[in-house]
Amino acid sequence: MPIPLVPIAVVTVVMTLRSDTKPVKIYVKKPRGTLYWGGAGLDGGYIKPQLQAFRNAGITDVSVGLTNSATQDVGSTAGTLLDAMRSGLFIRFEDNDDWVISSGMDVVSKQFNIIGYSYGSLLAAQTAWFYVKKGNVIDHLVLIGSPIDRDFLKKLKTHKNIKKVVVIDLTQFGDKIHAGMSEAALLGAVPTLGEQMTAGKGEGHFYYAHVTSDSPRRWKELAERLYSEGLR
């Protein structure tokens, strides 16, 4: 599962030791910028316009996350289904494996933000957990339509290196998924999720994922909300 880390922003720290006559430069790798993971399959027509909506709202240094999707190995349709299965069986719980960022993070930015939607929210959570345990500070962790486990969510919310966790449930739009839900509730939501996905009308859990005539407004509203939460 680990993927080699790409180059990331480098911050120069100048330190002077007592025995030194000249400053000693120490180069510290420090992940910056904003990453966004979409739903199962990590693809779809909503990804690029959602990223652009983030930029338009003022979240400038944003890139798409590509880490740990089954799509890379088996193709789009099968990968989407496998990702969905992985969500319920494994990834929604705390994991101590290496969730290394494989794209983005090569910009100089004032913040380090991680955003995830649906399956992508679990990738975001696992990646955040990996980096904060390594001593990195995350300014904002945003979980949208997330089936994340309650205990894992609590750990993320209380970790000193995560400044702010933003949870956005879509239950008001008919989504049966919500952060902190039980395994039984998640299994019970599967039939409704299947119906909403097949309908392709942007209903419930797929409020942001299906491209409809109303999608530009939805993407814009989400971006503006995250800007209001402090993301830059």
Asked if residues 146 and 125 have their Cβ atoms less than 8 Å apart, the reply is: yes
Lowest-pLDDT choice from 36-40, 173-177, 223-227: 36-40
Calpha distance 5→123 (Å, rounded): 16
Residue 140 contacts residue 164 (beta carbons within 8 Å): yes
pLDDT band at 86 (very low <50, low <70, confident <90, very high): low
Tokens of 145: 């339509």
User: What range does the domain containing 198 cover?
Assistant: 33-228
User: What's the pTM?
Assistant: 0.80
Q: Residue 2 in 3-state DSSP?
A: coil
Residue 180 falls inside a structural domain: yes
What single DSSP character describes residue 145? S
List pLDDT tens digits, range 41-67. 888 999 999 999 999 999 989 998 875
Q: How many domains does the chain have?
A: 1
CATH code for the domain of 170: 3.40.50
Q: Is residue 95 part of a domain?
A: yes
Domain assignment present for residue 16? The answer is no
Q: Tell me the pLDDT tens digit for each residue of 167-209.
A: 999 999 999 999 999 999 999 999 999 999 999 999 999 999 9
Q: Is 155 within a domain?
A: yes
